[in-house]
């Protein structure tokens, strides 16, 4: 199966073949191999316009979620650092040079919204943008509802779905997450290409919520 899937990561099939077995943990369908492939495609699309070291970027994409931490875990803010540490070990065992390992580790550490680490390299900026693109648009809406179900949240507050007379609470209600986080993501993109793609998906995400509210 890995061999078949690795071909989707062209032109980095060999790297994918080596890294995919280490790329995910657990059973979180919002951070599974399909997510990694979507982020890879986003990253390659941005890289085509923004440049950077494609091999470093591909490795960072493949390993950016190699440690699984649930959204409601107290370790969530440390997840990207934990993934960077594991990725460094994996790449060291594959014989990577120290400078390239450090570049991959920085990109992984900085990609996370929760980590609050500023990306300093073009590869780190592209990975952050590529990962955040998967949190908005139609995929972002689907992942939001999936995670809400996983966490045992309701879809919305039937008494006040728009939170006009209550505080937003995305731990209790899925659609509150649109306002508390998802609608803010488009403002923080690092590259010009990422910002352009983000604006398209941001508009889609707003449309999803509008349709949802209309139907309820």
Give the pLDDT confidence of 32-86 residue by residue, as tens digits. 899 999 999 999 999 999 999 999 999 999 999 888 776 666 566 688 898 999 9
Residue ending a domain, among 127, 156, 173, is 127
Residue pair 204/184 in contact by the 8 Å Cβ criterion: no
Q: Are residues 145 and 119 in the same domain?
A: no
Q: Which of 9-13, 65-69, 145-149 has the lowest mean pLDDT?
A: 65-69
Q: Give Cα 192 distance to the centre of its chain.
A: 18
Averaged pLDDT, 137-142: 94
Q: Are residues 139 and 108 in the same domain?
A: no
Residue 13: domain span: 1-127
Question: What is the share, in percent, of the chain residues with pLDDT greater than 70?
Answer: 94
Q: What is the pLDDT of residue 25?
A: 67
Q: Are residues 123 and 144 in the same domain?
A: no
pLDDT surpassing 90 at residue 31: no
Q: Are residues 5 and 95 in the same domain?
A: yes
Q: Where are the beta strands (DSSP E) in 80-195?
A: none
Report the number of distinct structural domains present in the chain.
2
DSSP annotation of 185 reads: G
Q: What is the pLDDT of residue 23?
A: 84
- Relative orientation angle of helices 98-111 and 54-63, to the nearest 10 degrees: 50
Residue pair 46/191 in contact by the 8 Å Cβ criterion: yes
- Relative orientation angle of helices 13-23 and 54-63, to the nearest 10 degrees: 30
Residue ending a domain, among 85, 110, 127, is 127
Comparing CA positions, the residue from 123, 101, 121, 113 lying closest to residue 46 is 123
pLDDT in tens, 163-187: 999 999 999 999 999 999 999 999 9
Q: Are residues 147 and 187 in the same domain?
A: yes
Q: Which sign, positive or negative, has the C-alpha torsion 165, 171, 186, 136?
A: negative
Averaged pLDDT, 184-207: 95
Q: Are residues 82 and 103 in the same domain?
A: yes
Q: What is the pLDDT of residue 22?
A: 87
Q: What is the pLDDT of residue 1?
A: 47
């Amino acid at each position: 199966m890995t061999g078949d899937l690795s071909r989707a990561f062209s032109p980095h099939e060999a790297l994918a073949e080596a890294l995919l077995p280490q790329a995910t943990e657990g059973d979180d369908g919002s951070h599974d191999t399909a997510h990694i492939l979507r982020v890879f495609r986003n990253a390659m699309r941005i890289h085509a316009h923004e440049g950077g070291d494609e091999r470093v970027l591909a490795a960072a994409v493949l390993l950016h979620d190699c440690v699984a931490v649930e959204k409601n875990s107290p370790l969530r803010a440390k997840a990207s650092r934990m993934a960077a540490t594991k990725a460094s070990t994996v790449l060291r065992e594959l014989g990577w040079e120290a400078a390239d390992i450090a570049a991959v580790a920085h990109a992984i550490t900085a990609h996370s919204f929760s980590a609050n680490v500023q990306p300093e390299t073009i590869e780190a900026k592209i990975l952050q943008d590529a990962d955040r693109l998967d949190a908005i648009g139609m995929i972002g809406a689907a992942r939001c509802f999936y995670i809400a179900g996983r966490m045992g949240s309701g879809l919305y507050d039937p008494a006040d779905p728009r939170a006009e007379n209550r505080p937003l609470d995305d731990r209790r209600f899925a659609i509150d997450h649109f306002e508390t986080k998802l609608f803010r993501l488009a403002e923080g993109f690092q590259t010009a290409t990422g910002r352009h793609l983000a604006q398209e998906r941001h508009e889609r995400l707003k449309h999803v919520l509008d349709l949802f509210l209309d139907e309820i």
